[in-house]
């Protein structure tokens, strides 16, 4: 059965670690839907959140194969019921005076932040669940979006 899976990996910050992990997906013809990686509070330790759609058994096999990589410390399959999952996006909009009330409404509704505004070009930051970001992008269709970027999902298990 194909389904959405979120896998987190805690890794040592070593050259090639991204390559080692991503080839485990690509050799099976799996497209990674989103992949985020960044430092943690521990120096030298980074963390991946990978979202991928596919057969559950094959994804479990990929998780086990990633666990075998020498520089991978910990792997986990997460689902919504036991984890917080957030996404972050920045969007560049072209606007004119008449759009300002609508933009302000959206900013309030989604708790967004204005990052930059000049010459009728605005950069706004949104964060929230994947569903919320989907809604944001839907609502933004009424404006002229010049550029946008989504980070992909970040996930963390709740509790200890």
Partner 1 sequence: MSDKVQKIQEITGAKALVKLLKTKKVDTIFGYPGGANLPIYEELRKSGINHILSRHEQGAIHMADGYARVKKKPGVCLATSGPGATNLVTGLANAMLDSVPIVALTGQIPSNMIGTDAFQEVDCINITMPVTKHNELVLHAEDLVPAIKSAFHIANSGRKGPVLLDFPKDVLNKKFAHNFQSEINLPGYNPTIKGNVGQIKRAIKTLKKAKQPVVLFGGGIYLSNAINEFLKFIRLAQIPVVRTLMGTGIIAEDDPLYIGMIGTHGNTIANRVVNKEADVVFAIGTRLGDRSIMKTHLFAKNAKIIHLDIDPAEIGKTIPIDIPIVGDIKEVLADVIQRLEEKNLGLETPWKINNNKRTLLSIRDAAPVMQTIFNELSNIDQNIHVSTDVGRHQMWANHYCTNPKHLPLITSGGLGTMGFGLPAAIGAWFADPDTPVVSLSGDGSFMMNMQEFIVAVENQIPLTVIILNDYRLGMIRELQTSFYNGHYTTHNFSEHVSFTKFAEAMGGKGFDVKSTEKIGSTIRKAVQSRVPTIIDFDLENISKSALLSLNSVAS
Q: Which residues of the shown chain bind partner 1 in the complex (CB under 8 A)?
A: 11-12, 15-16, 19-20, 23, 27, 57, 60-61, 64-65, 67-73
For the residues of 34-100, what is the DSSP string, one character each?
A: EEEEEE-SSTTEEEEEEEEEEEHHHHHHHHHHHHHSTTEEEEEEE-GGGEEEEEEEEEEEE--GGGH
The least distance separating partner 1 from the CB of residue 23, rounded to whole angstroms, comes to 6
| Closest CB to partner 1 among residues 56, 116 | 56
The least distance separating partner 1 from the CB of residue 20, rounded to whole angstroms, comes to 6
Residues 92, 145 contacting (CB under 8 angstroms): yes
Which DSSP letter does residue 159 get? -
| Closest CB to partner 1 among residues 45, 121 | 45
Which DSSP letter does residue 14 get? -
| Closest CB to partner 1 among residues 29, 159 | 29
The least distance separating partner 1 from the CB of residue 11, rounded to whole angstroms, comes to 7
| Closest CB to partner 1 among residues 18, 123 | 18
Which residue bears the tokens 């991204």? 18
The least distance separating partner 1 from the CB of residue 39, rounded to whole angstroms, comes to 16
Tell me the C-alpha distance between 98 and 110, whole Å. 20
The least distance separating partner 1 from the CB of residue 48, rounded to whole angstroms, comes to 13
| Closest CB to partner 1 among residues 75, 127 | 75
**Closest among 148, 36, 149 to 85, alpha carbons compared:** 36
């Amino acid at each position: 059965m194909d389904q959405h899976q979120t896998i987190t990996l805690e890794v040592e910050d070593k050259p090639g670690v991204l390559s080692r992990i991503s080839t485990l997906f690509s050799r099976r013809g799996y497209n990674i839907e989103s992949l985020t990686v960044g430092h943690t509070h521990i120096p030298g330790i980074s963390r991946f959140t990978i979202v991928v759609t596919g057969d559950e058994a094959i994804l479990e096999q990929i998780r086990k194969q990633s666990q075998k990589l020498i520089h991978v410390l910990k792997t986990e399959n997460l689902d919504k019921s036991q984890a917080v999952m957030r996404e972050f996006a920045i969007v560049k909009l072209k606007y004119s005076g008449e759009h300002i009330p609508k933009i302000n409404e959206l900013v309030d509704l989604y708790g967004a932040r204005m990052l930059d505004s000049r010459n009728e070009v605005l950069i706004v930051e949104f964060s929230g669940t994947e569903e919320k970001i989907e809604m944001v992008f839907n609502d933004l269709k009424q404006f002229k979006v010049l550029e946008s970027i989504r980070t992909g999902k970040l996930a963390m298990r709740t509790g200890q």
